[in-house]
Structure formats: structure tokens, C-alpha cells
Amino acid sequence: GAGVSQSPSNKVTEKGKDVELRCDPISGHTALYWYRQSLGQGLEFLIYFQGNSAPDKSGLPSDRFSAERTGGSVSTLTIQRTQQEDSAVYLCASSPPPSQYNEQFFGPGTRLTVL
Amino acid sequence: AQKVTQAQTEISVVEKEDVTLDCVYETRDTTYYLFWYKQPPSGELVFLIRRNSFDEQNEISGRYSWNFQKSTSSFNFTITASQVVDSAVYFCALRTENTGNQFYFGTGTSLTVIP
């Protein structure tokens, strides 16, 4: 595909359930980012990957959040035992190398609603 | 520490008016990059511009212009002759040489252009 894709586009879950959010970056992009955007708020950095490694996990809000990236491509953000405060839009972005000079290309996001 | 401040939470203008969106950044690094993104109601962030810290030349692209001033740590964005399609949330972002690939986003300015 031409852009970053994310799935599902919408996810409604019950409190306490686990969810997995998927991101497919643009082919060839080495850096991948996850952000969270709560209603009417800015972007909250969660984690980024350079290749398959995550040098910076400082933004993950709790140990219920984890992410992995395989094959330098697809990434999955997992939220365990979801809470209502996890409700937000989760955005994924990728950057081509050399990543530090380039802008991020964003996906359409996954809207998560925890009931 | 790195920080981006967008003091204007919401702005409303009448179509054809000019509007300036403010962005003030903080960093101790001498090499850094500034970005503006547009998030229309559809939700997907769109890259608008990137400037590096060594290039203070202002840029104009159609009705858009950017004023980068290191002396005041500002990177303001002006839309001339605004149109309804400019209605969106606009984010300013910063990344620096010493913070690797992490982006720091402002909280965004919601612009409404009234026909």
C-alpha cells in the first residue's frame, strides 16, 4: 500500500479485556512510532522502534502496555486488562531512513473504546 | 528537556481572513528539526513542513507561510486568505539531534474557518 495502515479502525471492548492493535508501516521505513491521542488532546508519545528494537519505551503509560515489531515491518501494540482511561485514538507513524531527518507519515489510527 | 507549546487552543476566523498559529519550542540542543502537521476532521495527520535549526529562511507555499525565529524560539504558521478546507487541528513538533527519533508534539491548535 501507499501509506501507513492500521487495523482495526475501530475497536470496542469491555473493561478488563486485552486488545491488540496493528500497524503496517510504509515499505522501507525503518522507524515506527506509536502515539495516543485522547479526545481533544495532543499526541502522547508511547514508543518507537528502530528496526525491530525499541530503544525508547519511556512513553508507555503502564506495564499493561507492550509493543513488538517483527521483520522490521509490522508492529503490534497490546493493551492488557484494558481500563476506561485507555479509550483514545492510537496512531502509528513511520519514517524513512535516515530517520532523524525525516518527517513521520501517519496512519489513520485505531479508535479504542473501553466500556 | 524538550518542549513544544501551542498556546492557542482554538481559533475561529471568517473565510478569507489571515490567521497565524503560534508555536514556541524549548531545547538546549543546537541541532534540531521543527515540523507542522495538519489533522483534518477525517483524523489522519498530514505533514506540512520541516525546518532544521540551521535554516532560518522563511518559507512560503501558496497560502501557507512559516516564520522561524531562533531568537524567540518560535516557528509560527500563517494561513493567508483562509478557506473552509483549512479547518483542522494543527500540530507543531520538535525533534533534536540528541533525542534520537523521538518527536515532541504540541497540544495542537484547532482552527475553524467560518464561511
| Nearest Cα to Cα of residue A54 among A32, A29, A26 | A32
**Closest chain B residue to the Cα of A96, Cα to Cα:** B101
Give the Cα separation of B18 and A12 in Å (integer). Answer: 41
Q: In chain B, where do the E strands start and end?
A: 3-5, 10-14, 19-21, 24-26, 32-39, 46-52, 59-61, 64-69, 74-79, 88-96, 104-105, 109-114
Q: What is the pLDDT of residue A57?
A: 81
For residue B7, count other CB atoms closer than 10 A to its CB: 11
Closest-CA distance, A32 to chain B, in angstroms, reads: 9
Q: Taking CB atoms and an 8 Å cutoff, what residues of chain A touch B5? A: none
* pLDDT tens profile B11-69: 999 999 999 999 999 999 888 999 999 999 888 899 999 898 988 888 888 999 999 99
**Closest chain A residue to the Cα of B99, Cα to Cα:** A100
* pLDDT tens profile A41-99: 788 889 989 888 887 788 899 999 999 998 889 999 999 999 999 999 999 999 887 65
| Contact predicate B48/B57, CB 8 Å | no
A33 touches chain B (CB under 8 A): yes
> Sorting pLDDT into bands at 50, 70 and 90, what band is A20?
very high
B4 phi, psi to nearest 5 deg:
-125, 130
Give the Cα separation of B99 and B88 in Å (integer). Answer: 29
Q: What is the pLDDT of residue B60?
A: 85
A91 touches chain B (CB under 8 A): yes
A85 phi, psi to nearest 5 deg:
-70, -10
